[in-house]
Amino acid sequence: MHEPINYKSINLDQLRDQSANYHSKIPFQHQIEAFEALSKTFKFGGEKPGSGILVLPTGAGKTFTATRWLSDHVIPKNIKILWLAPSFYLLDQAFATFYNSARDIPEPKKTLNIRCVSSNPSHAKASSIQLTDDIVIMTIQTAINNLHPDAIDKFGNKFETAFRNFIESCRETGLFVVVDEAHHSPAYGCRNLLIGENDSALGLRGLLPELHLLGLTATPTYNDKARRGWLWKIFENEIIYEAQKESLISQGVLARPNYIEVATGKELEVDDKLYDRLVKQHQDLPESIIEKLASDKQRNNFIIHTYVSNKDAYGKTIIFADRWFQCVYIKDKLLEKGIKVDAIYSQIDADPGSAEARNKRTQTDNQRILNEFKNGKLDVLINVRMLTEGADVPSVQTVFITRQTTSSILMTQMIGRALRGERVGGSAEANVVLFFDDWKRLVDWANPKDGDTIDKPKLSVKGYHPFEYISIRLVEELSKSIESGGDYQIVFSKICPIGWYKTEIVYADADNKHESMESFTEFVMVYEHTKSKFDSFILFIRSTNLLDEWSKEYLDDKWMQSQVQQWISDGFERKTDNIGEKLDSDLIKIVRHIAQNQSVPIYHPFEERELYDLDKIAYKVIDLPSRLKHEYLGKEFSLPDRLWKVFYRSLIRFETAVDAAIINIIHHNPKLEDETTPPVIIPLKRELTEPEKEEVKARDGYACLCCGVNSKGKLQIDHIKPFSMGGETSVENSQTLCRTCNKHKGINEIDFRVNRTQLREPKMLNLLLPRQELGISIEKDVVISTNSIKRIVNFFYHCKAVYNINCHGQGRYGKYYSTWEISLYAGNNPEWLLQHKPELLNFIQYQIGYTYIEDIKVNVSNKN
């Protein structure tokens, strides 16, 4: 656990006496301008109270700016301060900044009592709030729960909470409320906490008419007039000051972020339970999966290699990990590489003598290590979330975020550690290295580039996630077509959306009694046949008196489903309109957006849609020879202004989709159809008989001809020339493959019975081939490893090119222990593969896990 950050009582006179050589932090020009704007808006002594928003980009010091001004102008007047934030992640930073700025508070203020309140174990309980507190820092939801509780005491009277008593006491002193992440404030709970007008549950402004209200945000929403909604009803003076991100970067106050996405190659399943948690309940990964990722040796080795291979470019780096043992592992491995590194993390409760106990870290240890990192004795600092609490290390050039999160607040806090510019000892450009895994369903992970308007690529202006939605949909349809052998036809107009609605909704975390609130951007896909229905639905909702319940941050799923069923019955056809089984959730998103924002979600037409009509591409290549078709599609796939790579991820998927479109054209050409004469249908044999299948397996030695897997339960019979391309169903046109190789081969024609490649020039080496056989025993199972390499090389040469792989030899000192040897059949040019030696070696070291392998040799066997 962290050292509790819950309450401090500071003797200001004593602090002043101890700080004879103390020099206050010198504010930047934008902060001085913010101070002036705050002083103009917030007047004291009988004038109308102020309420407005201060907009400063992430890294520009909005917490420091607010606390310094409050220390100069509010605290000396003995006006109480209530600091509210949507997540307990943000409380510690505010607490630390007030504490560190206390010596700047002018006389005659003698003492300062600061209390940090939330449901987190490291914070104080709401019941501990005292009337003598000067500053109460708490989560919005804790404040909501404690302002108007439903509880009654043992005498049957309404229970008065310590927080409510504190608020009532502010009638005498005055109250200044600060709302961090103020763009969330229009959400139902926060809105009613601040300005609720229900007589039985008045908001803070109703209870204290002289209340002053300041909002802090890095995400201004006021540019979109339709989305202002409640925002300006809460903050009546609107934007009182805004610093432009572009200007602060040009001044050297902020660094320009350079986002670097790194695929770990780790494939992770998302079952219905996890999908419901991440997508419907908007929670983060469960502890069990975080634990699994943190303890994954192969994945951690990859993170280590990523830093070591680019250490000069990355410079001073913070690595955000998830567990203490992950910190220790990465630290030890980096030390072996000669890197100056240490780790800080929380104390660990453990049995004496255990590994956990030996690796305990005290707060003193952590502070010492942090100081060493600040002072340049260390190049890398690994930590478990501790640097999200306001630790100031301006010289950081790079942050590693080692896993994805759904929390945009947490993401912003981590990235903020690297955004200090040259004028504060940082750099002109900050590297944000984002490690991502291959999740098998679409999850809206927090995207650090959302809202970033600087150097944004042309095709990203409308957001990144819509294209991910389209990608998942296209790949799903492609899989259906492949599995059906071409019988299931892909119709572009039905599967490719014509646009999408962008919804923005604030959700509460159901896991922690709604303690944390996050804003999520989600997209509703609109198709040719559903556009008019969505338009009518939105008009209906806008003209209906929506229940105020729809504005709430947390709603019961069963309650929402009962509401939405009638809307579907009235305006939609579930059979044709429930694309991807998302109609219910799509309508709920639209309604909640309208209720929370008092505006309709913005519709974005997919203006480039016609560029991605596969039928048009298919007509261009339908008569080309195979090699020319491959070359044309390769160039099209790689065009910089196209989204094919986003949609299909790999060239082979793209080619497979085009082939499916070609088959559709051939089989459904209107010119070939005679409506007056029914076509003569000659039934074709689609599958070998069981005796014929047994004959093929026996001929092929009961093993996959591509990778060598010989498990009978995994073996399948494959058409060498696919049925959909006119290949016949015969023993001669069949081969034995495992499920994995058969699935990857798809509808391509590859004969693994031949040992000599028919390619005239090499293909791209695909290191992302399916590896679902790989398991936790990977480092002990040489057979599994060589099978994977055989699969990669044989698909590369488009035949069974591998004669043998020599590895490990006779133990640690054997001939092939640190140098592996791949022998090819005659007729396969080894130089083709050697061109890819660096990435293949990296794959063996950090994807399969053999980090001690130093070299790979490729030769040609004398076997034909």
Please check whether the two domains, 256-443 and 681-753, share a CATH topology.
Answer: no
pLDDT at 552: 82
Q: In what order do the strands lie in the sheet with 819-824?
A: 802-806, 819-824, 855-860
As given in the structure block, the two tokens for residue 122 are 């490291």
Decide: 537 and 583 in contact? Cβ < 8 Å.
no
pLDDT at 559: 83
Residue written as token pair 């209390």: 115
pLDDT at 661: 79
Q: Which amino acid is at 365?
A: D
As given in the structure block, the two tokens for residue 834 are 């050697």
Q: Which of 414, 250, 195, 253 has its CA nearest to residue 319?
A: 414
Give the DSSP H/E element, type plus range, for residue 453: none
Partnered with residue 81 across adjacent β-strands are 135, 176
Long-range CB contacts (< 8 A, 24+ apart) of 459-463? 459/608, 459/641, 459/643, 462/502, 462/604, 463/502, 463/521, 463/523, 463/604
pLDDT at 679: 41
Cα separation, 724 vs 838, in Å, equals 37
- To the nearest 10 degrees (0 to 180), the angle between helices 162-173 and 140-147 is 90
pLDDT digits (tens, 9 = 90+) for 758-776: 888 888 888 876 554 433 3
Decide: 29 and 248 in contact? Cβ < 8 Å.
no
Burial of 851: CB neighbours in 10 Å, binned 0-12, 13-18, 19+:
middle
H helices of 101-214, in order, are 140-147, 162-173, 188-195, 204-207
Give the DSSP H/E element, type plus range, for residue 495: helix 492-495
- To the nearest 10 degrees (0 to 180), the angle between helices 583-597 and 531-542 is 40
CATH classification (class only), 7-15+30-243? alpha beta
Q: Average pLDDT for consecutive 10-residue bins of the chain (864 residues)? A: 70 80 82 94 86 90 93 94 87 87 88 91 89 95 87 71 94 94 83 87 92 88 53 89 90 88 80 68 72 87 93 91 88 93 67 50 74 88 65 79 76 77 81 82 63 36 52 63 59 76 78 62 85 91 79 80 86 84 88 85 83 84 87 88 74 81 71 41 66 92 91 84 78 91 84 91 77 40 78 92 80 77 92 90 82 89 74
Decide: 470 and 495 in contact? Cβ < 8 Å.
no
256-443 topology per CATH: Rossmann fold (3.40.50)
Per 3-state DSSP, the chain is made up of helix, strand and coil in percentages (nearest 5) of 45, 15, 40
H helices of 668-726, in order, are 690-699
Supply the DSSP string of 825-843, one letter for each residue: -TTS-HHHHHTTHHHHHHI
Cα separation, 536 vs 568, in Å, equals 12
pLDDT at 222: 45
Could you tell me the residue ranges of all domains in the chain?
A: 7-15+30-243, 256-443, 457-496+614-674, 497-605, 681-753, 763-864
Instruction: Determine the distance from the C-alpha atom of residue 746 to the mean position of all C-alpha atoms in its chain, rounded to a whole number.
Output: 30
As given in the structure block, the two tokens for residue 410 are 């947490």
3-state secondary structure at position 265: strand
No. of helices (H) and no. of strands (E), the chain: 33, 22
Q: Which of 507, 518, 406, 419 has its CA nearest to residue 465?
A: 406
Burial of 586: CB neighbours in 10 Å, binned 0-12, 13-18, 19+:
buried
Phi-psi region for residue 788, left (φ > 0), alpha (ψ -120 to 50) or beta?
A: alpha
Distances (CA, A) of 196 to 201, 203, 208: 7, 4, 12
* Residue 46: count of CB within 10 angstroms of its CB: 6
Cα separation, 227 vs 601, in Å, equals 9
Predicted TM-score of the model (pTM): 0.62
Phi, psi at 66, each rounded to 5°: -70, -45
Decide: 301 and 849 in contact? Cβ < 8 Å.
yes
Supply the DSSP string of 684-697, one letter for each residue: ---S--HHHHHHHH
CATH architecture group of domain 681-753: Orthogonal Bundle (1.10)
